[in-house]
A and B are shown apart, each in its own frame.
Chain A
Amino acid sequence: MSKKEKEQILVRYGSSRKEREDFLKAMISPEGKAEVLDDVIVLDVSYANMSGDIASSIFAEFGAEVIKIEPPEGDPSRKIAPHGVNRNGVGVPFIMEARNKRYFTLDLRDESSREEFKKLAAKAHVVIETYKPGQMDSWGIGYRQLSQINPGLVYIAISPYGQYGKKAQEFINVPDSDIVSQAASGAAANIGDMEHMGEPYNWPLKAGVWLGWYINGVIAAQGGAVARYYASATGEGQMVDVASGDAYASLVGYPVTMGFTWDRARPRIGRHDFAIYPYGFWPCKDGMVAIAAGRDHDFRGLLKILKIWKEEDDWRYIFDRIPDIVEQVEKLYKMIADETNKYTSDELVKMAIDYSIKSAKSKWRGGGVPIVMKVQKPATTMQNPHWAKRKSFTEFDDPQLGKFVLPANFIKMSDSPPRVKWVSCGIGQDNTYIRDKYLK
């Protein structure tokens, strides 16, 4: 081993490289490890709202027995399908969230089914629902009633404006969707191009990912896990209320504080960033590269690797670079683009890494870490050997759904990691199993 290699290893691992590497490698596969929620039963009655399916998927990945309860015709979420693409009548998002679940049919509109639901709820630990506020309650199976028969029950409700307050009441008939959640919670208003780019580019824009519904799902699972922790300590369950109209604003916080401290809305700034520059992406010979070199010393490093050090004087401090003056920032954007266009993405990534290694070793430590990463499309992300090594994607094969790939295994834990054991979602496919196990 060369002296250089030894040095790097010591810097990274202290003295126990092999031990740590083996330990981390053993964490990649969840097989044979404990499941944290293996004693937990979750009833998911979410309807036409995938926030609930996402939350129950997370519980299922952590080992809970999740029973998705649908009417005989199936949850309409099954038909939420980008461009109508489906397998056997099931859209891609529903397949993606059909992780380790049991499917049971019960028509909650029907009273005898509600009695069966009550029997299940008496044995369950978590209920997830997305009906309009008060609907379950009026059916006699809301938190108020179920907590009487099962005081330890954690009851998660997801709705556009929550379970209490005037707006929840006023908009009771207006259902939830991802795009509406993004619009109501401040995401759409902060995405989109600058005013002078013209319509429709300067309009509020929907994020290309389900920002609303996935935030709801993660937050519902998080709140539910907190409530489970309390319930297992005290025997007391509680209600967890997630409002879709809050999703983005309460997660990232900026819309709330900026609206107050600036006393006006932020304008849309397209590709730029309010706090740091450069922090965006630039064209290169073979596509785009993301560049983050916000701190002054990172920026100096970027100027050096792009060989435009002569510009340093004009853009020395972060406050020279932040995009508050549009002409200025476009000038800076172009200055960087002119240089990045001369290289391929791989060259730029290598230039940045080589520079950063050199600068980290310098005793002055002032050289900065300009970061460059190739902008990927999901299809190219899947080919990255890094994710193969981490087993981030798993292929599944189901008789009804065929073959497909899921991003699975998304948290690595040494003792009780989440995992995807099967993906399958026939309507009522587990009716007998559920009846035999819980309703006899």
Chain B
Amino acid sequence: MEDYFNYTKNLFDPTKVQEKPEVFKGLRVLDFTHVIYGPTAAKVLGQYGAEVIKFELPWVGDLWRFGVLWGSFWRHSSVCFHFVQYGKYFFSLNLKLPKAKEIILKMAENADVVVENFAAGTTDAWGIGYSQLSKANPGIIYLSCATYGQYGPMRFFPGWDLLAQAASGVISLTGYPDTDKYYKLPDYVGDFLPGNIGALAVIMALNQRKKTGKGQYIDLAQTEALMRIIPNFTYHSITGEDLGRSGNTDPAMAPSGIFKTCDGKFVAVAAVTDDQYKAICEAMGHPELVNKYKDTFERLKPENAKELYDATAKWVGASSAENLVELAKKHGFSFAVVEDDYDITNDEWRRERGSVIVYTDDMYGKLLIPGPSAMLSKTPGRIKWLSRPLGYHNRYILKKILGYSEEEIKQLEKERVVGNWDDRPGIKPPVYYDIEKDPIFNYKGE
């Protein structure tokens, strides 16, 4: 029999991704979202082959086009915008004007999915809500992403990732117990995770549509999505106590923690099972501890867990990271060296796997971006281009999908129904790029 790793290497071969079929090819997604939460849901669908058309206001654009870390743009664009919005069609349309609404209603007739993340009820007020679009197209799947959902007394409260973290209680869980040292989750994970749950809901709705032919409305509250991932409510209902913060240890496993090695590196160690506990005791040279805490639940009691945490900290503090890696491999306990941004970017295995992609874009050049989170052997997710300047695909969409002529488009431009950018970085093309020669931006039609 062929070696397993040879077999899987061929099965998942990252160099063959572009040749493989796309699951959602032929599906059209109208993406009325901004910042991260909604756009992420649409991005995932695009990754698997759907045609995602992102709508933005001309001359204004998505707020997150300016969301740059420490104020630094990269080639006149935001890198975060690139990995949240890649592979989409950028269409800028002034929703306030009746002509723009006509265009949207026309597109909705043969669209499959709509995603929006405005305040509750806003798209309905604009005449492009589920109640309106589903009349024209009963097959439409409509995902509304709001912080508190579409129904309930707090539905009109505005929110971002931070507020969802605050309202769900997640914000109070990361940090050191018995101090006021606690921190929000970084990198807007309160947007990214609910956004992916939104994509999951749409994919389930697509599965359902296959059976019934009917679309449906999805009300996803960012805060509820975060509530789904914490055991604290259940813990509280059983014990009557708060689980609270636990610093650098996982109270569900003992020993577990992030520790500092003698060479100044940080490593994570955990005993998920009794076997792993035994392995750690042996690796640290304290086999007597194995018998001391034979019962898992006994071991997890705070005072006992503390003893094991301290013993592990002492052992790790006297070893080098390199030595510990070897011990983990030999004895078989859960272990990893803490990796920061730089390590992740330069990890060979992630590039080999395709979870970090060195992408060369026609407009922006080389950028490292995250690959799909799950690798599918037959229909892998993929990237087609990075994000584009505001309204980059206007001509392409108006001509190819809607059949407008050049004259009609000029008229729309004159009436400011569609438009592009001003001189701000984030919405304009990079300075070195000659946009006048770009065949998509100046799409001539077939």
Whether B342 contacts A259 by the Cβ 8 Å rule is yes
Q: Which B residues are in CB contact (< 8 Å) with A193?
A: 181, 183
For residues 380 through 422 of chain A, which have their beta carbon under 8 Å from a beta carbon of chain B? 380-382, 384-387, 389-390, 392-393, 395, 402-407, 409-416, 418
Chain A contributes a number of interface residues (CB within 8 A of B) equal to 189
Across the interface, do A250 and B370 meet the contact criterion of CB distance under 8 Å?
A: yes
Q: Which of the 9-residue segments B101-109, B252-260, B410-418 touches chain A?
A: B252-260
Q: Assess whether A257 is in contact with B48, with CB atoms less than 8 Å apart.
A: no
Contact with A along B201-239 (1 / 0, CB 8 A): 101111110111011111111001101111111111111
> Once the chains are docked, how many angstroms separate the CA of A200 from the CA of B80?
30
The answer to whether A79 touches B296 (Cβ under 8 A) is: yes
Nearest Cβ on chain B to A295's Cβ, whole angstroms:
7
Contact A34 B297 (CB under 8 A): no
Question: Does residue B401 face the partner (Cβ distance < 8 Å to A)?
Answer: no
Q: Does A182 lie at the interface of the complex (its beta carbon under 8 Å from any beta carbon of B)?
A: yes
Q: Given A138-B4, A251-B189, A411-B201, does the pair A260, B345 have CB atoms closer than 8 Å?
A: yes
Contact with B along A177-202 (1 / 0, CB 8 A): 11111111111111111000000110
Measured in the bound complex, the distance between the Cα atoms of B400 and A71 in whole Å is 58
Known A-B contacts A174-B328, A192-B183, A371-B160; the reply to A258 vs B341 at CB < 8 A is yes
| A37 touching B207, Cβ below 8 Å | yes
* A373 on interface, CB distance cutoff 8 Å: yes
From 349 to 376 in chain B, residues with beta carbon under 8 angstroms from any chain A beta carbon are 349-350, 352-353, 355-356, 367-376
B297 contacts which of A81, A170, A208 (Cβ < 8 Å)?
A81
Q: Is there a chain B Cβ closer than 8 Å to A108's Cβ?
A: no
Docked complex Cα distance between A208 and B229 (Å): 11
| Contact between chains at A382 and B5 (CB < 8 Å) | no
Are A219's CB and B373's CB within 8 A? yes
> Which of A110-118, A233-241, A430-438 interfaces with chain B?
A233-241
Majority SS at the chain A contact face: mixed
Do A226 and B79 contact each other (CB < 8 Å), given the known contacts A92-B238, A260-B367, A381-B227? no
Known contacts A161-B349, A188-B338, A193-B183; A373 and B216 CB within 8 A of each other: no
Q: Which of A180, A245, A257 sits near B270, CB closer than 8 Å?
A: A180
**A76 sits at the interface (CB 8 A):** yes
Complex interface residues of chain B between 180 and 207 (CB less than 8 A to chain A): 181-189, 192-193, 196-197, 199-201, 203-207
Q: Which bucket holds chain B's interface residue count?
A: 35 or more
- Check: B175 CB closer than 8 A to any chain A CB: yes
Q: A142-B4, A281-B184 are in contact. Are A239 and B154 (CB under 8 A)?
A: no
Q: Taking the complex as formed, is A424 at the interface, i.e. its CB lies under 8 A from any CB of chain B?
A: no
In angstroms, Cα B227 to Cα A239, docked, is 30
A251 to B301, CA, bound (A): 33
Task: Tell me the minimal C-beta distance from B32 to chain A in angstroms.
Answer: 15
- A173-B332, A384-B154, A413-B217 provided; 14 other pairs, C-beta below 8 A? A89-B297, A160-B336, A188-B338, A201-B176, A242-B374, A251-B189, A255-B341, A255-B345, A260-B367, A375-B166, A390-B149, A392-B227, A406-B233, A407-B233
> Can you name 16 A-B residue pairings with CB atoms under 8 Å?
A11-B125, A142-B4, A174-B328, A190-B341, A205-B248, A207-B173, A249-B350, A249-B355, A249-B370, A253-B369, A253-B370, A290-B163, A290-B171, A376-B167, A405-B237, A407-B227
